[in-house]
Amino acid sequence: MTTPVRTTGTRLGLEALEAREVPAINLAFDFTLDLRANGGSGFFEDNPAARAALVRVGQEMGGRVSANLAAITPSGTNGWTAGLYNPSTGQQYTVSNLRVAANTLVVYVGGRAMPGPTAAQGGAGGYGWSGSAAWGSTVATRGWSGFAPWGGSLAFDTTESWYFGTTTSGLTATATDFYSVATHELGHLLGIGTAPQWFSKVQGGSFTGGNSVAAHGRAVPVSSDAAHWAVNTTHAGQAAAMAPVLQYGVRHTWTSLDQAALLDVGWRAASPVTPPTSPPPPPPPPVTAAPVLVSGSAGQVAVYARNGTGSLAYTGTTFTPFAVYSTAVRTAVGDFNGDGVADYAFVIGAGRVARVQVVNGATNATMVGTTVVLGGFTGGAYVAAGDINGDGRDELVVSADRGRSSLVEVYTVSGGALVRTFSFSPFGNLNTFGGRITMGDLNRDGRDELVYAGGPGMAPRVVIYNGAALAAKRATPLGPSFLAFAQGVRSGVNVAAGDIDGDGYADLIVSQDAGGTSLVRVWSGRTVTTNPGTPVPALARLQEFYANGTTDRSGIRVAARDLDSDGKDELVTSASGGTANWVRVLSVSANAVAALETVFTTSASAVVASQVTAPAEGGADLWFPPSGPCLCCRPTVAAPMCSRVTG
């Protein structure tokens, strides 16, 4: 608990923060319980500045400590339940079989009105488990000798007069500094005043941890609740961040005494990372796995991939990213954290406020909790992923569907949150047909271009934006926009990008959406980008074919991915509308188109169209229904639920 009080004449102390490449411990914030749609107060939903400030504090606090925390990955008979206090209600709340990545703490955050002088509450979560003893040890200790929670929760008072600034220049004498309070509460979540290792060292009203005694010169007096330093505790002339009273109009930063307490509860000190010298290290290895995401109208997304026999098959993994809604989910695949494994991005379809969620492909844990995009637009959205700045980590791009201007937003994935860097309207604010997007390195400069195509009702216009320019916050086309099909085609255009011919350039693939034919056209990326003055339709096509005959009017969804690791992307096609339930993998060259396999996802023919996305250098869309079981596991809790929150 932090309790601001009004004081005057308090000297502000600032502590320099160490520069690090990434936090040694990743604090992954989950904002789902804050959403009004989930019964939350919308505190962070309404305050992007609060969200950004929390992410910043999380990066700093995670970067202060290190540990080798095992991942928590339930499977088979090994299950568990995470216990916490819902930050939006203050009531006990449980999450079954939460997946937590290695060296990661999942932190549920939200806001609610708090009585009295309380400004915030935070602490580590509890747990219950069932299964083998080794599994129980993993849940309880994460294979670490010190304090090692799965995460916990933070709640902030919605009635407080908060200051969210990054500096203190606008911090008034009557405002509560969010940075200071968030730092304090994350100190609790990391074990100060909450961990058994803390209380075992409290004796006679003082904390006797060796590191803290060395920093303070003697045992450190604690408050009456034994969960904080005593009131007015200072270190080197600066107020300690973990004292129980934080002052209005003052920024309280982390001191060496606070840091010593983290070491005393079992964390290891994180070593500063020296910035790399020239030449920079090589980028992470490319994503070699080729997942295909299948999302149905009920909001479930199943993962398909090539199996041991070389066939596309259901992997057994299914996500429900927006569990409270039964609506279509659109997807993209990209490497957002640079670990060489494909991650998954989900965006909700039409009829709901546009929200995005990102999942770690290596662990299936949430990387970015549900985040509102496009200003809360409810007409649907599309997502794509690509590396526009050459750092080996993909950015996430979101485009509005039909019903508003052709808005595109560019985000980086950082510290468990989406950070918007740039937005623009490809076809102007008066165009309300929306657009579909994909990304790929068409000019082979190491930066992925953005391909934007008009939606249904609009002429089939396509434009390609230079990826390096997007990184510099400029929307610079590689050439003039062009009509991918005849002027009269109004079905909308689907797009993909992938290296079909193996020359190192992503090639451009276009098709018609529902109501159009199954015509697919492919242009060489090399040809398009080395002839910027020539309209694309006037250039020789790498290939053109009908994916499902000349009479079909279901349209075609296309994606591109190197499924057989031969250095050339295959095309994955499916009907864009109607009741067809097939997906077809094609080998395409300048000389021939060959069907490698056709997968039927269900034996029934009358099915609701759904979406598949394969990672075509960032993803493109396909539609067909999901297949395979939906696994709902509810473990038997073998240990009592416990959750201590410092109030």
Residue 630: pLDDT over 70: no
Mean pLDDT of 96-104: 91
Helix, strand, coil percentages in the chain from 3-state DSSP, rounded to 5: 15, 35, 55
The pLDDT confidence band at residue 324, using thresholds 50, 70 and 90, is low
Range with the poorest average pLDDT among 300-314, 360-374, 603-617:
603-617
Q: Is the pLDDT of residue 634 over 50?
A: no
**Span 231-252, average pLDDT:** 88
Given a contact cutoff of 8 angstroms between Cβ atoms, the answer to whether 254 and 186 are in contact is no
- Domains annotated on the chain, with CATH: 26-269+620-633 (no CATH), 292-608 (2.120.10.70)
Q: DSSP letter at 72?
A: B
Mean pLDDT of the chain: 80
Residues 372-419 have pLDDT tens digits of 999 888 888 999 999 999 999 999 999 998 877 789 999 999 988 999
Task: Give the confidence band of 325 by pLDDT, cuts at 50, 70, 90.
Answer: low
| Residue 253 pLDDT | 92
**Which among 436, 301, 406 is positioned nearest to 358, based on CA atoms?**
301
Q: Which of 73-82, 282-291, 455-464 has the lowest mean pLDDT?
A: 282-291
Strand ranges in 264-311 using DSSP code E only, listed in sequence order: 268-269, 292-295, 301-306
What is residue 486's predicted lDDT score, i.e. its pLDDT? 93
**d(Cα 262, Cα 253) in Å, to the nearest integer?**
15
pLDDT at 352: 83
**Percent of the chain whose pLDDT exceeds 70:** 82
Task: List, for residues 245-278, the tens digit of each pLDDT value.
Answer: 877 888 999 999 999 999 999 999 875 444 444 4
> Poorest-confidence range of 26-30, 126-130, 256-260?
126-130
Range from 111-115, 449-453, 591-595, 636-640 that averages highest in pLDDT: 449-453
Distance of alpha carbon 486 from alpha carbon 232, whole angstroms: 75
- Contact at 8 Å (CB) between 562 and 290? yes
Average confidence (pLDDT) over 492-499: 93
**Long-range contacts from 570-573, C-beta under 8 angstroms, 24+ separation:** 570/596, 571/496, 571/498, 571/500, 571/509, 571/520, 572/292, 572/612, 572/614, 572/622, 573/511, 573/520, 573/547, 573/548, 573/622
Q: What is the mean pLDDT of residues 113-137?
A: 86
Residue 58 confidence class, pLDDT cut points 50, 70, 90: very high
The SS3 assignment for 509 reads strand
Q: What is the pLDDT of residue 230?
A: 92
Q: Give residue 315's pLDDT band: very low, low, confident or very high (50, 70, 90).
A: confident
Residue 575 confidence (pLDDT): 78
pTM above 0.75, yes or no: no
- pLDDT tens readout for residues 573-590: 877 766 566 778 888 988
Going by C-alpha positions, the residue among 258, 256, 236 that lies closest to residue 246 is 258
- Model confidence at 430, in pLDDT bands (50, 70, 90)? low
User: pLDDT value at position 578?
Assistant: 62
pLDDT at 219 over 90: yes
Neighbours of 387 (CB within 10 A): 24
| Angle in degrees, CA 108, 113, 115, rounded to 5 | 115
**Position 619 pLDDT exceeds 70:** no
The 10s digit of each residue's pLDDT in 437-482 is 999 999 999 999 999 999 999 999 999 999 999 999 999 999 999 9
Least confident of 318-332, 356-370, 535-549, 619-633: 619-633
Q: Which of 223-237, 304-318, 406-420, 584-598 has the lowest mean pLDDT?
A: 304-318
Question: What's the average model confidence in pLDDT over 284-292?
Answer: 48
